[in-house]
Amino acid sequence: MSEAINRTLDTVGPRLKRLRLHRDITLADLAEETGISTSTLSRLEAGLRRPTLEQLLPLARAYGVTLDELVEAPPTGDPRINLRPIPCSDGSVILPLTRRPGGIQAYKFILPTGSDDAEPDLRTHQGYDWVYVLNGTLRLVLGEHDLILGPGEAAEFDTRTPHWFGATGAGPVEYLSLIGKQGERAHVRAAPSHGPAE
């Protein structure tokens, strides 16, 4: 077992160097971001020093990869995702479908039956969104457009456009959403210039 661990740790240095060069980051920039000195980073990349967990955590965060990916650990454990529903005050439920740090995140949204004359609360934020309706009817207000999407229909848009999602009076709706890292940040209220939300 210790021999396998040693072999894994011996390959970390070259992988760290490849990641840094691929992202075009200098040792000085990486040192500033991680709090690890340039000399230590250089020794880690050269394989002259074995990384500790305290060093691997900030490096994984800086490169946007998991610890398993950073050390190229053999796959272990149960590959199933343990879904933990996030209940919201409006009765909707969000199910995170991915757990990989950085990059695109996938979510399943379940919205309770809505009101056909609901006043949309349009929001904007950085990023891009892609939605796909699984069941029910989704109302998507996107800028000046007031759209109704049924099962099997999809939409994609720049989230800097004021937008709002809601269920209709026909019943609850379930849809998938792929959102970039920026899209997970808090929304900023945006007032549309005109349209159905006025």
Q: What is the pLDDT along the chain (198 residues), one digit of tens a residue?
A: 467 677 777 788 888 998 888 888 899 999 998 999 999 999 999 988 888 888 888 888 888 777 777 777 666 566 666 667 888 888 888 888 876 656 678 889 999 999 888 889 998 888 888 999 999 999 999 999 999 999 999 999 988 899 999 999 999 999 999 887 554 443 322 333 344 333
Cα–Cα distance measured from residue 198 to residue 144, given in angstroms and rounded to the nearest whole number: 10
Cα–Cα distance measured from residue 14 to residue 8, given in angstroms and rounded to the nearest whole number: 11
Closest Cα to residue 86, out of 112, 107, 102? 107
The reply to whether 17 and 51 lie within a common domain is: yes
Q: Residue 39 is part of which domain span?
A: 3-71
Contact 138, 148 (CB under 8 A): yes
Cα–Cα distance measured from residue 154 to residue 157, given in angstroms and rounded to the nearest whole number: 10
Evaluate whether residue 24 is within a structural domain: yes
Cα–Cα distance measured from residue 125 to residue 179, given in angstroms and rounded to the nearest whole number: 11
The CA–CA distances, whole Å, from 146 to 79, 111, 183, 184 equal 40, 18, 21, 23
Evaluate whether residue 78 is within a structural domain: no
Domain count across the chain: 2
